[in-house]
Structure formats: structure tokens, C-alpha cells
Chain A
Amino acid sequence: MNERDLRAWLGERASPAAAPDELRARVAAITAAPPVAAPRVGRRSLRRRSSWRNGLLLAAALAASLGGATLLAGRAGPTPDATTSLPLDRSLIAIASSGVALVDPVTGDRVLGLRTPLETWSAAWSADGRLLAFGLRDAIWTMDVETGAERMIAAVDGCRGERWWDCELAWSPDGGTIAVTLDSQLMLVDIASGAVVVRLDQPGAEVRSPAWSPDGATLAFLAGATLFTIPAASGPATVVVEESDEVWLPRDVAWSPDGGTLAWMAFPEAEPTGWKHIVIAASDAEGSNQRVLFEAGNCFCISGNWGPPGFGWSPDGTQMAFVTQEARGEFEPPSGGLFVIDADGTSKRFLIPSDGGRPLWRPRP
């Protein structure tokens, strides 16, 4: 069987020359139908959210600062946009969303913007909270958030950071290794030598969301819609959670700081409107005791205009930060935001508008 056979078969399979009249009538009726409200989250977050106009202004300011960055020759890395004191005991959330912003988790103040010569969605904190790692321009970079000193750690072809699915990073608790997921592979990058080792290759699956256990012994990751753990040193991967009717498309994984719980974002089936409802789910580290922790909001993930939702645990385990979207009205753009919530699912608070990205809570040294 050859390519010609396949093309002919596909052509025959898609053989109707035109859509049936019944479908034509259904589609023609779409714009005539009365508006149906898109999903909304609780009123509390809506009250606290800045207006869309304010969001645009802030986004425009950030874009302006990012756009004003000097494009450095060759493999230029990120640079901070100002000299700002960032003592290590200061709690911060980094959010990589086509640039990186450091945000105060209590006030929502944008403390510092990190300018990158290209978009990057990939970032990870070092365990001591001094450095951020980035995937950018086919390489892994680190940057001291206090001084702006940057260093290219290793070349990793394809890790461009320009699109959120290009590659994702996680820094080991001992500071010596950065785990990188790219295509079907989980790689380990040695910080000191720059050596890159492929730890796992799962052909045919998209490997994403690496997350180190707090003791550094285990990595969690997603391959397709399945959540695995794998010993960092050697040994096979183990399935923790598989996609099912109850667990839909897990996305973005995080360990609790005590190492006892794995949490992930889950998308129950998309609404017909294209909205995806998002929950934060969790299990014990080996996959038992699966449960939904709380509802986190929605995303219009299929639009192609928004980054992915994401979440992260606070260093003391009492809170989570997450990025999701809210519908604003039938014909208004959805409003994305960075939120903080207590780990028991109460006291949800809006921080800043955000179009997507993974919130990264600065570790405590």
C-alpha cells in the first residue's frame, strides 16, 4: 500500500462534495439563535478582577517593555527590565507568558518584568530562588533575577520557548539538573557540564510538564493524557493516572511541598462552545485517592490565541496559584487572570490579568 492508495482512500472517505442541506440549515441558524451564556466562575473573583481595559493597559505596558528589549546578537538570553531589589525571603510568583513577570502573591503588584528577545513560555526557578531557567532559542539559559547575569547552560535543539508546547522545564531540588520535556522525550540537563541525557523517550506521545518530587528522587510528567512518575536516576516509568471519563486531559503537574500529593489540572470534556472547564485534581503520589480539589475556572484553549492554563503550589503548601479564563459576555473577549487560592479551595483571589502561562512560585531557600 502506498501514498497514492492512502490519498485515494481519504478522498473517497471524504467524498460528499457538499455539506447536506440539513447541516447547512443548522449552521445558518447559529447567528439567529438567542445568546447562550458562556461558563462563568464565582462572583467574588469577578468583583476583584480589574476591568478588561485595565488588563489591556497592563498587557500593553508589559508588551511595550518586552518590545523595547534590545535584541542581542546570536543566542541572546533574557534580561531584567529594571534594577529591583529582590531579597530571597520575598515571596514571588513568576509567570512566563510570552515574557516573564514577577508578581507579588499578596498585592498582585508586578515587581519585575524579564525581557526576552523572543517569546518564551518556558521557565523554572532554582531551588534557592536566585535563578530562573528559560528555554529560548534552542538552548537552556539561566538568569540571576537580582543581577540579570545570564548564562547559557546547554544547547537543546527545538527548545525555543516561542510556543508553549515547545519545551517545558523543571529544576531539581539539589540545583544540579534541569529536566526538560520536548516532543516525546524527557531530558536531563546537567548544570555544571551542560551535558544533556535523554532519560525517557515515549515515541508517539507528547511528553510535558516535568515536575521533581521535593526529595529530588522522582520526576512526574505527562505523556499524552497519562500522568507518569519515573525515578530520576534509573528505572522504568510508572503510570499514576490514566485518562478516563473522570480524568480528562490532565495538563500541568505539581507535587505538594511535602511530596505526598501529586496535583494536576484536568479538563473535563470541552463545552460545545469551545470553552473548557478546568478543575485541579490530585492523588497520592502513587495514584491512589484521586479527587477533585477545586474548580479553577475555564479556558478557551482551542482558540489558538491564548496560552495554556497552568498552576503551581506555594512553597509552604498552603496556597496554589493558577491561570485560567473567564467569560465576560456573549461577544466580549474572555478575560484571563492569575489567581491565588488556599489549598483547600477557598479564598480565591485575583492578582493580575494574564493570557496564560504557568505560575511558578519562588521557592524558599
Chain B
Amino acid sequence: VLGERVIDEVGEDRAATFDAFASRNLDAAYRVATAILGDPAAAQDATHDAFVAAWRGWPSLRDPSRFDAWFGRILVNTCRNALRRSRRTIVTDVSARLAAGSGGGDHAAEAAVRDSLDRAFARLSADHRIAVVLRFYEDLTVDEIADRTGVSSGTVKSRLHYALRALGVQLGQDVEESTR
């Protein structure tokens, strides 16, 4: 496990270890940030900030087994900060998608669904957005989301419940029970 090597490394070894870690996790981190923020430029900045925070906080990581959760928590916090800084400026341009779906039929229906999700998601709070992305994009469990976001499992379930209602998403019964 990469994290187990972290604590004792110094100097160049530490930089090399971090670089390897960053290289391995960069794409996934950027995709998660993009899913949360919906804006590639903001996602770039948030991802970069997360890696800077991880580099600065490297020595504070005491429990190597929590390495992934540790960085995941840093990432969602930088995304949350980005949303709060720019909550009125990050917009998703759906015009191209709408144009592509203007021909009618299934494409139009899909475009309408996505447009509806775009609009509803943009109205969600930062915490609700993060809960939805971690659950339905990263496939984390409720307990894992709780650990990553620093709130109780009950709060995660509550956030998911209200976010999904705001998005107009109906869940299957098994998924419904897992988020209740």
C-alpha cells in the first residue's frame, strides 16, 4: 500500500512518492471534481488545490490505511470551497446538448432529462451535490460518504433523500432502502 511508505520518507523520496501518488490519482480526482462542479476550469483549480493540500498535509497523515479516504476528504472539501466561492458563477452550458436533441424522438427526450438534471443539480447546495456524486458516481456507501464528508450516516441519508427529491429521481426499492 502506497500510504504505508509515507510516514518515514523524507526529502526526495517523499517527493517521488507524492508524485507517484498524484500521477495515479489525478485523472480520477479530476473527474470527481468535474462531476461536482460541472465546470472544467473550476475542476482544474479544485483538483490542483486538493493536491497542494495533500502535499502540505502529507506529514499529518497518521493512519496509512485511511489514505484514500484522507485524500478524498481533501478533494471534496476543496470542491465545497470552490462552490461556496463561486456558487453564482459556475454554470453549465447545455445549449449544444439541447441543439443536438432538437430533432425529436429519443434524443430529444434524453436531452430534456439531462437539461432537467442540469438545472436541478445547479440549485443543490454544495453538500447535497457532493453526496449525490459520491453515492451515484463514485459508488460509495452511505457510511463511506459519512467518513469522507465528516458528517453522520444519518445526515448523509437525509442529504441524499432531499437531493434526489429535488432532482426528481425515483430510485429502485433496494437503492431507496440503502439511502433511507
Contact = CB atoms under 8 A, between A and B. Distances in A.
A2 B74 contact: no
A334 B53 CA distance: 13
A20 to B, nearest CB: 7
Given A27-B22, A31-B19, A6 B167 contact: yes
A3 interface: yes
Contacts of B31: 14, 16
A158 B61 contact: no
Interface in B56-79: 56-63, 66, 69-70, 73-74, 77
Nearest to B170: A2
Nearest to B163: A204
A2 B117 CA distance: 11
B152 interface: yes
B44 A22 contact: yes
Nearest to B16: A31
A163 B60 CA distance: 18
**SS class, residues of chain B in contact with chain A:** helix
Given A23-B26, A23-B30, A333 B60 contact: yes
Interface stretch (A87-95, A229-237, A303-311): A303-311
A16 to B, nearest CB: 6
B175 A38 contact: no
B117 A9 contact: yes
Nearest to B165: A204
Interface in B129-145: 132-133, 136-137
Contacts of B61: 303, 305
B34 A14 contact: yes
B48 A304 contact: no
A272 interface: yes
B136 A10 contact: yes
Given A3-B169, A10-B136, A269-B85, A300 B60 contact: yes
Contacts, number: 176
A1 B167 contact: yes
B38 interface: yes
A295 B93 CA distance: 42
Contacts of B29: 19
A32 to B, nearest CB: 8
Contact of A13 (B34, B155, B159): B34
Contacts of B40: 16, 20
Interface residues of B, number: 71
B27 A19 contact: yes
Interface in A216-239: 224
A9 B26 contact: no
A191 B42 CA distance: 51
A241 B69 CA distance: 32
A99 B48 CA distance: 36
A206 interface: yes
B55 A31 contact: yes
B58 A331 contact: yes
Given A5-B117, A183-B158, A18 B60 contact: no
Interface in A3-62: 3, 5-7, 9-20, 22-24, 26-28, 30-32, 38
A184 interface: yes
A165 B73 CA distance: 15
B18 A31 contact: yes
B91 interface: no
B35 A14 contact: yes
A329 B132 CA distance: 37
Contacts of B128: 204
A183 B117 CA distance: 27
Contact of A7 (B44, B48, B136): B136
Contacts of B49: 272
Given A16-B31, A27-B51, A30-B52, A203 B74 contact: no
B81 interface: yes
A273 B56 contact: yes
B116 interface: yes
5 contacts: A6-B164, A273-B52, A303-B60, A331-B10, A333-B60
Interface of A: 1-3, 5-7, 9-20, 22-24, 26-28, 30-32, 38, 158, 163, 165-166, 182-184, 203-206, 224, 269-270, 272-275, 300, 302-306, 330-334
Given A14-B35, A204-B158, 11 more contacts: A3-B175, A5-B113, A9-B117, A16-B30, A18-B27, A27-B48, A163-B152, A166-B152, A269-B81, A273-B57, A302-B73
The 7 residue pairs across chains A and B that have the minimum distance between CB atoms: A183-B154, A274-B53, A14-B35, A31-B15, A19-B30, A273-B56, A14-B31
